[in-house]
Amino acid sequence: MLLTSDTQLNQRSYYEASVTRPAVTEPLRGVLQADVVVVGAGYSGLSSAIELAQRGYKVVVLEADRICSGASGRNGGQTIVGYASGQDPFESQLGPAQAKLAWDMSIEAIHLVDERIAQFNIDCDRVKGYLYVADSARKARALEAEVDKLAQSYGFTCALARGNDVQAHIQSPLYCASAYETTSGHLHPLKYGLGLARAAQSLGVQIFEHSAVTSLQRGDPLIARTAQGSVHARFGVLAGNCTLPEYGAQVAPDIAARVMPVGTYIIGTAPLDPALCESLIPSAAAVCDNNFILDYFRFSADHRLLFGGRVSYSTRTPAKLQAVMARRMGEVFPQLKGVPIEFIWGGFVDISMNRAPDFGRLGGNLYYLQGFSGHGVALTGLAGRLVAQSVAGQAERFDVFAKLKHRNFPGGPLLRMPSLVLGTAYHRLMDAF
């Protein structure tokens, strides 16, 4: 489900244009009994369903729109180790041993993506390699400090480059430092998500599209009601992510204020000369800078530059979006100024206040997975595994995340979005130095 009302924008998605979706599934009608009802057919919901079905549970997935119609089907495709928050929330709240366990689980999340691709034969243009870049001296120092910390505390190494040596990794005048590693990488997110849906269905999971949950009665059993039916289940998983606030008053008002929908957008160029692509990013890695208002980009399998960023912390699509993003792309790669833009799309991802994942329970049998904060391609798979382990009675790893403290966004329903816009303006100013 998209929170944006700009449906025309999202009809120009490169991902949707480069796949053939299966026929829409029928909406839920009547009453079903299940072991687990999952709300949301994006990565976290589908991953939960796969893991639960592999453990022998009967699973029903309810999707308000279409499979992977939200962030799972339109994100940057960047499959990244670690957390958007960095390790600080884990270290400060849980201590070094639990922080190390959280880091190791983020590595496991990457491996799990590759395991699922292999196990279920998912063709999703998987590429390994990731390049972190800095565009100022201050940001270069921050990048170097982060690389040093990851090596010393977590045994994770990156190849650091400075000054002119950066050009060996990316032919751009903008960056003065970079860090390259081959654990992270990128993929075609919608191909991957549709592959997860096929995998879940092959394991007996029932998926119902156009079946928004209108109310959720807690207790034993849980009862998830839609417009035309209901599911009675022993356990529930809320995996709607940033779409949940749309109907949070009916489903989960106690966690809706802990995530904020943030707009992010991507343009896709016309196909480029493969030799030009190789000259610009020789490793074919995904790239992301370390600004608060960041740019992220990569080449697709058919040699288009997919360039993302220009986040919006209001509910409005930015004005003159395509021109603004094309201009920014030209600043990163002057070689691409004037290249035709054939696709532009976007929508909302969720963030938590501290940018750490927000996993937990509401009562004894209702789980929620939210707050991926831009790192969801890999972490959603891990989340699905952890929630399935917890349902099966092995909650130790899930509780590493459940123990993290999260706060509501300030300002209440009316003022929290304007408050975030003001805060973002400050960070955008700081990124310029």
Helix, strand or coil, per DSSP, at residue 350: strand
What's the mean pLDDT in 70-80? 94
Q: Which amino acid is it at 379?
A: L
Residues of the chain with pLDDT > 70, as a percent, come to 89
Query: pTM higher than 0.85 for the full model?
Result: yes
Mean pLDDT of 71-99: 96
Q: Which segments of 155-270 does DSSP mark as H helices, in order?
A: 189-202, 248-251, 253-256
Q: Identify the weakest region by mean pLDDT among 33-42, 246-255, 288-297.
A: 246-255
State residue 273's pLDDT score. 98
Dihedral angle, C-alpha 63, 344, 358, 382, nearest 10 °: 70
d(C-alpha 106, C-alpha 84), whole Å: 11
pLDDT band at 261 (very low <50, low <70, confident <90, very high): confident
347 confidence band (pLDDT: 50, 70, 90)? confident
Q: For residue 257, name the pLDDT band (cuts at 50, 70, 90).
A: confident
d(CA 339, CA 341): 6
Q: In Å, what is the CA distance from 147 to each residue of 35, 78, 104, 152, 155?
A: 44, 19, 16, 9, 10
Instruction: Give every CB contact of residue 335 below 8 A, 6+ residues apart in sequence.
Output: 171, 276, 280
Residues paired with residue 62 on neighbouring β-strands, in sequence order: 39, 208
pLDDT tens digits for range 158-205: 999 999 999 999 999 999 999 999 999 999 999 999 999 999 999 999
The pLDDT, as a whole number, for residue 399 is 97
Which range has the top average pLDDT, 109-123, 303-317, 346-360, 362-376? 109-123
- With H, G, I as helix, E, B as strand and everything else as coil, classify residue 199: helix
For 6-50, what is each residue's pLDDT tens digit? 445 566 899 999 999 999 999 999 999 999 999 999 999 999 999
- What is the model's pLDDT at position 246? 54
Q: How far apart are CA 244 and CA 247, in angstroms?
A: 6
The pLDDT, as a whole number, for residue 430 is 44
Query: Given pLDDT bands bounded at 50, 70 and 90, which one contains residue 310?
Result: confident
**Token output for 375:** 């790192």
Phi (first) and psi of residue 416, to 5 degrees: -70, -35
**Token duo for residue 154:** 């977590």
* Helix/strand/coil percent split, the chain, to 5: 40, 25, 35
350 touches 356 (CB < 8 A): no
Among 241, 236, 210, residue whose Cα is nearest residue 37: 236
For 350-373, what is each residue's pLDDT tens digit?
Answer: 888 899 999 999 999 999 999 999
- Within 166-238, residue ranges assigned H as helices are 189-202
Q: Cis (ω within 30 of 0) for the bond into 221?
A: yes
Residue 418 has pLDDT above 90, yes or no: no
Confidence of residue 3 (pLDDT cuts 50, 70, 90): very low
What's residue 248's pLDDT?
57
Q: Which of 199-203, 269-273, 297-301, 404-408 has the lowest mean pLDDT?
A: 404-408
Q: What is the mean pLDDT of the chain?
A: 90
Can you give the pLDDT at residue 6? 45
Contacts of 36 (CB under 8 A, 6+ apart): 48, 49, 52, 57, 58, 59, 60, 233, 234, 235, 236, 237, 391
Q: Residue 249 — very low, low, confident or very high, per pLDDT cuts 50/70/90?
A: low
Query: What mean pLDDT is predicted for residues 323-348?
Result: 95
Half-sphere exposure of 427 (CA within 13 A, CB side): 14
125 pLDDT above the threshold of 50: yes
The region of weakest confidence among 35-39, 242-246, 313-317 is: 242-246
Residue 427 has pLDDT above 50, yes or no: no
* 3-state SS, residue 407: coil
* Backbone angles phi and psi of 179, in degrees to 5: -140, 125
